[in-house]
Structure 1
């Protein structure tokens, strides 16, 4: 069970890397007002959702304590991120504020994961 949990943690990190990496590669375009949500951002957000839900379930099944408030906050942020990226995935240009909000929420999600104990 531990190997599966560690594998899913790795995949979860790959998902966040795809989401944040897509944001960071579009920052220069965001300054020009031509940023768009690249497919990797959508795939990264979906990967985070699937692996995150699986991790919570496996940790509960393995008898580990799960901080449900922390997981709820992270899930709420991810749903907002996923909704924004999914709805505007085909747009040629995304508003700077919306694009910046996705980056801010992604970064907040990372810090919540690392700092909230």
Structure 2
């Protein structure tokens, strides 16, 4: 079971990388007002959602402790990220505030995962 959990952690990190990488790749365009949501950002957020839910289930099935408050906060942030990316995915230009919110919420999600013990 530990190997399966580690595989899903790796996939979860790949999802985070796709989402944050998409945001960071748009920072130059963000300054000029030409930023847009990339398809990889949506795919990364969906990967984070699926693998995160799987990780919670696998950890509970393996009798590992799960901090439900932490998971709820991370899920709430991810739902907001997903909503922003999904709604703005077809627009040619995304407002800098929306793109900034996606980057900020993604970064917050990472720090919550790492620092909240």
TM-score range (shorter-chain normalised) is over 0.9
Q: How does 1:1-117 map to 2 (within 5 A)?
A: 1-117=1-117
Partner SS, residue 90 of structure 2 = coil
Q: How many residues align?
A: 117
TM-aligned CA deviation for residue 2 of structure 1? 0.6
Runs of 5+ unmatched residues, structure 2: none
User: For residues 76 and 48 of structure 2, what CA distance do their matches in structure 1 show?
Assistant: 12
With the length of structure 1 as denominator, give the TM-score of the two structures: 1.00
Structure 1 runs (4+) greater than 6 angstroms displaced: none
With the length of structure 2 as denominator, give the TM-score of the two structures: 1.00
